[in-house]
C-alpha cells in the first residue's frame, strides 16, 4: 500500500517540515498538521460521486486536488503515511453515538491506534469537528487538551468510548471494541455510508475545517465560526454562499456545489 505513496507531496500538503522518525513527537506533529490542512467534508457523496479508498484516489483528492474527506479517507491515507515512516497503526471500527444510541448505529467510523514509546494512543483525524488534534492515550480518563478542546478515553463495560469536550459541553463521540479490522471491512462500511438512502452522509452537508483563528463547522445551512474570542453563527443563503465558504475557509473551489441537492435543505429545492 505504501509503494505508490508520495510522501513529499503529502508533507507539502500538510506543510510538514518536522521529523520523520517513528516517535511520539512525530506522530503528534503529523496529526496536528494533517487536521490543520485537510478538512472534513462529505460533498462527493451528496454529488453522487463514488468515494474510493485506494491510495492513488486518496492522494489525487486529498493531496493533489486540495480537497477534504470523511473518516475512511482520512484514516486510510494517514495510516499509509504512518506505515511508510515505520509506525504500525492498527485499523479499528466504531459506532458513532452523537446522534443515536449505540444499539441503533452501525460500525461505520474508522480510526487508528498506534503503539509508540511504551504506550498506546488513539489517532482519529477523520472525526470532523470532534476530531482530536493530538493522539489520545488509550488509558482510563487520561485527557489531552489543545486550545479549548479536551479528549479522553473511558471504559464502559466491554467497550471503549471516546469523549470530547469543547468549552463547557462534553459529548460521547463513539464506542469501539478495539478489534483489529482489515481494509476490506472499510470498503463495505464506506459503501453503506456513501450509498445507503438512510445514511446521514447522503442527507446532510457535514463540513469542518481548522482555520488560523479556530474552526469553521457546517451542518446543512448552519455555519458556526469558532474563534478565540467566541463563536459566530450564520446561515447559508444558497448554494453560491456554500461555494464561497468553501473557497474562503476550506481551501478549494468546487463549482459543482451550485447544483447540489440536499434532502435536509428543502429551501434549496
CB atoms within 10 A of CB 165: 16
* Fold classification of 7-186 (topology level): Arylamine N-acetyltransferase fold (3.30.2140)
State the catalytic residues.
Answer: 71, 109, 124
**Separate counts of helices (H) and strands (E) for the chain:** 8, 13
117: number of CA atoms within 13 Å, CB side?
11
Instruction: Return the exposure string of 140-152: e unless at least 16 CB atoms fall within 10 Å of the residue's CB, then b.
Output: eeeebeeeebbbb
| Confidence (pLDDT) at 2 | 44
| Confidence (pLDDT) at 1 | 43
Cα-trace Rg, the chain: 18
Give the residue extent of every domain in the chain.
7-186, 204-268
- Give the pLDDT of the chain (269 residues) as one tens digit per residue: 444 899 999 999 999 999 999 999 999 999 999 999 999 999 999 999 999 999 999 999 999 999 999 999 999 999 999 999 999 999 999 999 998 999 999 999 999 999 999 999 999 999 999 999 999 999 998 999 988 889 999 999 999 999 999 877 899 999 999 999 999 999 999 999 999 999 999 999 999 999 998 999 999 999 999 888 888 999 999 999 999 999 999 999 999 999 998 988 888 87
Q: Is the pTM of this model over 0.85?
A: yes
Is residue 187 classed as helix, strand or coil in its secondary structure? helix
User: Crossing angle, helix 24-37 and helix 71-84, to 10 degrees?
Assistant: 140
Amino acid at each position: 500500500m505504501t509503494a505508490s505513496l508520495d510522501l513529499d507531496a503529502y508533507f507539502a500538503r500538510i506543510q510538514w517540515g518536522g521529523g520523520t522518525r517513528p516517535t511520539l513527537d512525530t506522530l503528534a506533529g503529523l496529526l496536528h498538521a494533517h487536521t490543520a490542512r485537510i478538512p472534513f467534508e462529505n460533498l462527493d457523496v451528496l454529488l453522487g460521486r463514488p468515494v474510493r479508498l485506494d491510495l492513488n484516489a486518496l492522494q489525487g483528492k486529498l493531496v493533489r486536488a486540495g480537497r477534504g474527506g470523511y473518516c475512511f479517507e482520512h484514516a486510510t491515507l494517514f495510516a499509509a503515511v504512518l506505515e511508510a515512516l515505520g509506525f504500525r497503526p492498527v485499523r479499528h471500527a466504531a459506532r458513532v453515538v452523537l446522534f443515536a444510541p449505540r444499539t441503533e448505529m452501525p460500525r461505520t467510523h474508522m480510526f487508528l491506534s498506534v503503539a509508540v514509546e511504551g504506550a498506546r494512543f488513539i489517532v482519529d483525524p477523520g472525526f470532523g469537528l470532534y476530531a482530536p488534534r493530538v493522539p489520545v492515550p488509550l488509558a482510563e480518563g487520561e485527557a489531552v487538551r489543545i486550545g479549548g478542546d479536551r479528549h479522553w478515553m473511558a471504559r464502559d463495560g466491554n467497550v471503549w468510548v471516546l469523549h470530547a469536550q469543547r468549552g463547557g459541553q462534553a459529548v460521547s463521540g463513539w464506542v469501539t471494541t478495539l478489534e483489529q479490522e482489515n481494509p476490506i471491512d472499510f470498503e463495505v462500511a464506506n459503501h453503506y455510508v456513501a450509498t445507503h438512502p438512510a445514511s446521514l452522509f447522503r442527507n446532510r452537508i457535514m463540513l469542518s475545517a481548522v482555520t488560523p483563528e479556530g474552526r469553521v463547522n457546517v451542518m446543512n445551512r448552519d455555519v458556526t465560526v469558532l474563534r478565540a474570542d467566541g463563536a459566530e453563527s450564520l446561515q447559508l443563503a444558497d448554494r453560491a454562499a456554500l461555494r464561497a465558504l468553501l473557497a474562503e475557509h476550506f481551501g478549494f473551489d468546487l463549482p459543482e456545489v451550485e447544483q447540489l441537492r440536499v434532502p435536509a435543505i428543502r429551501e434549496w429545492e
